[in-house]
Amino acid sequence: MTHDHPAASERAASRPFGRLLTAMVTPFTADGSLDLDGAARLATHLVDAEGNDALVVNGTTGESPTTTDAEKEHLIRAVVEAVGDRAQVVAGVGTNDTRHTIELAAAAEKAGANGLLVVTPYYSKPPQGGLLRHFTAVADATGLPVMLYDIPHRAGVAIATDTLVRLAEHGRIVAVKDAKGDLTATSWVTSRSDLAIYSGDDAMTLPTLAIGGVGLVGTSTHFTGALTKQMIERYDAGDAAAALALHRRLLPLFTGIFRTQGTILVKAGLTASGLPAGPVRSPLVDATADEIAQLRADCTAAGLDLP
């Protein structure tokens, strides 16, 4: 029995959060407190102007390590209210404490989130059996669909292919944000499970689509969203050449946004553009003049203007 590669229409049905998601920064006021009005305005911009199908809030780009549980809940409510039914809101709830993650998941569900992003427990370096138990416990405790976040260079441990395949058997574990940088491993996951694979690295989006991925959870997409979505749509329509041309055009910003920690440059770019962002919280530091100049150059190289 042979398995044909799923047609675009079939793949559309397997995109639980659409094609394009942005891991949204969390706007702060000048004194570093939460800017909920700014968050609502930024979320509206990302959906209406940049074409995002969903937004991830309280992720690493949203400075989740330095926001309180109460701030996280307020942020979800503000963004859910701002985007309404025009986009989904996926809440980052992952920590390296299973019990705390379950508490955050319950709060996110109550606050109106449409899905959860659950990162590999970081720093603790649990074995695969621990990862299996952690992710299963979180998925068991919620009614929301779950996107796993596989990012070994931050977490210190990868989610093994066999573990992902086993987790895919859970009815609520539906997707992976894949920042592993191992397309062979990802190929095995797409061939052995029905998990929806979203690239977790902007520049890896097109190759990830080529091996069965469905979209992107992006960072540079605060600025490149509309064109990145066009790239994904061109690939899905069978126009690989047009998709490749857009990939090459956007590459300077896909990669340039990570010249330093991504949040720092996104906030600098948003501030320059007159959009809500504010400062970063320590231990991050705001972009230097040189870093902002380089960001402008990277935007220009991608054919995008940064004021």
177 carries an active-site annotation: yes
Q: Please report where in the chains the tokens 């993650």 appear, as a residue.
A: 101
Helix (H) or strand (E) holding 57: strand 54-57
* DSSP letters spanning 81-146: HHHTTSSEEEEE---S-HHHHHHHHHHHHHHT-SEEEEEPPPSS---HHHHHHHHHHHHHT-SS-E
Handedness of CA 150, 152, 157, 158 (dihedral sign): positive
- The structure tokens listed for 63 are 């400075």
Q: Which residues pair with 116 in a beta bridge?
A: 91, 146
C-alpha 263/C-alpha 281 separation (Å) is 10
Contact 158, 141 (CB under 8 A): no
Contact 46, 225 (CB under 8 A): yes
Contact 100, 68 (CB under 8 A): no
From the list 177, 180, 229, 267, the catalytic residue is: 177
From the list 72, 122, 149, 180, the catalytic residue is: 149
One-letter amino acid of 177: K
- The structure tokens listed for 53 are 């199908």
- The 8 Å CB, 24+ separation contacts for 26-29 are 26/57, 26/58, 26/62, 26/63, 26/67, 26/71, 26/75, 27/276, 27/277, 27/278, 28/277, 28/278, 28/279, 28/280, 28/281, 29/278
- The structure tokens listed for 103 are 């508490």
Residues taking part in catalysis: 149, 177
